[in-house]
Structure 1
Amino acid sequence: MDECCAPHVPEGYDREFNARFARRLAHRYRRDGLTPSAALVLDFADSIGLAGASLLEIGGGIGDIQLEALKRGASRTTNVELSTAYEPEAARLLDEAGLRDRVTRMLGVDLASTPEAVERADIVVLHRVVCCYRDYERLLGAAAGRAKQAVVFSHPPRTLFARFSARAINAWYTLTGNPYRAYAHVPDAMIAVLTGRGLEPRYREVSGPWHIVGAVRA
């Protein structure tokens, strides 16, 4: 597993996505495999053609989607992550699968700010990530620019309940001094970012609170 570190991690990510959270995700993955929403993300990537493909995941956490992509024939994966807390669990999972040499994990790289720091890949994945980032246009625009063939991302619904929940969560974070924030962006606006950069939406599925959108290079 190659590792690359940048010097700056935005405030809040290490606190919100900490070692305890990473351990819980890894335990659940070992026990149950991918979550239903993650499985839908991978199914879209597989429909594009994972055999021999490269995959870039933004905010991939413990790397479960990447592990399954490699098992389905992806040649190599890259993970760009803002929280350092996932790395021990990610390394253990890679060692258990014997796939460490086919993964690059980049720490502290904000793709929206420095897209040129990350090599292009056939398929770019953002699962449960856009709702954690304020400037969805820059993030999805950068993701589209790194994608040779396709982008797949997930987002919560833009319902009144989802918007109220995000505001309530953020109010609590403010009171507790946590700089992390959650966002409920407008789905059509997010999709428009991809279409404006030459990607055509062809896949839409729902799993629980997560809506999955897959777009291919037109």
Structure 2
Amino acid sequence: MKAQGVEGRTVLEVGGGIGAVQIELLKAGASRALSIELTPTYEDVAAGLLREAGLADRVERRVMDFAEAAAEVDGADIVVLNRVICCYPDMPKLTGAAAGHARRLLVMSYPRRTWWTRLGLGVSNGVLALMRREFHIFVHPPQEIAATARQHGLEPVLEQTGVLWTVAALGRASSQTA
């Protein structure tokens, strides 16, 4: 993201957890950040980290289902979905909403669709079911994730694949040269 330029940019992170990505982008020069989290679990820790970093006045945090209430959120220069697509059952709705809010860049990470990832996450889902947890992990097809973002005017800028995760960045054609 830093290579694409974050100086003075706004950031929207969906599923931001404790806010580590937002803090790093703000330290790198982003002007403001909005964090959308589905549950309030991380709010106290996130508030403490923001205070400690001296960035509390530059971050707004909201607890809501972004895919369901995206119309209530303004767009941002950079939208981040870090390890969150795999936690949401309706990938096209979440990815489409995020892509629609990205004025310049959408950065996503999601599990690779390999036999070992699917096996490991299948076992994890089995354990979660035995524990009677509603949470479920999804391995959405990467081609469909990218196609959904492309339907909103974004084109691939970067893709890095690791053993378990893929990181993909897609940008607006009009902003890739800016």
Does the TM-score normalized on the shorter chain lie above 0.5? yes
Q: Secondary structure at the match of 1:134?
A: coil
Amino acid at match of 2:41: A
Question: What is the alpha-carbon root mean square deviation over aligned residues?
Answer: 1.0
Match of 1:91 among 47, 52, 56: 47
1:159 has 2:111 as partner? no
TM-score by length of 1: 0.77
Q: Secondary structure at the match of 1:74?
A: coil
Q: Mark the runs of 5 or more structure 2 residues left unpaired by the alignment.
A: 174-178
The percentage of counterpart residues that share the same residue type is: 42
How far the C-alpha of 1:145 sits from its partner, in A, is: 0.8
Tell me which residue corresponds to 1:74.
30
Amino acid at match of 2:43: E
Distance (Å, rounded) in 1 between the aligned partners of 2:162 and 2:125: 24
Q: Mark the runs of 5 or more structure 1 residues left unpaired by the alignment.
A: 1-44
Distance (Å, rounded) in 1 between the aligned partners of 2:126 and 2:31: 43
How far the C-alpha of 1:208 sits from its partner, in A, is: 4.3
Match of 1:185 among 135, 140, 164: 140
Distance (Å, rounded) in 2 between the aligned partners of 1:67 and 1:133: 24
Tell me which residue corresponds to 1:24.
none
Match of 1:212 among 143, 167, 171: 167
How far the C-alpha of 1:214 sits from its partner, in A, is: 0.2
Q: Is the 8 A contact 2:108 2:168 kept in 1?
A: yes
TM-score by length of 2: 0.94
Q: Is the 8 A contact 2:36 2:61 kept in 1?
A: yes
Distance (Å, rounded) in 1 between the aligned partners of 2:61 and 2:107: 19
Tell me which residue corresponds to 2:14.
58
Deviations 1:107-131 (CA, angstroms, capped at 9, x unpaired): 1x11111111111100000001001
Amino acid at match of 1:188: Q
How far the C-alpha of 1:170 sits from its partner, in A, is: 1.5
Deviations 1:150-197 (CA, angstroms, capped at 9, x unpaired): 100001110112112222221221121100000111111111101111
How far the C-alpha of 1:206 sits from its partner, in A, is: 2.8
Q: Output aligned runs, 1:135-154, within 5 Å.
A: 135-154=90-109
Q: Is the 8 A contact 2:38 2:66 kept in 1?
A: no
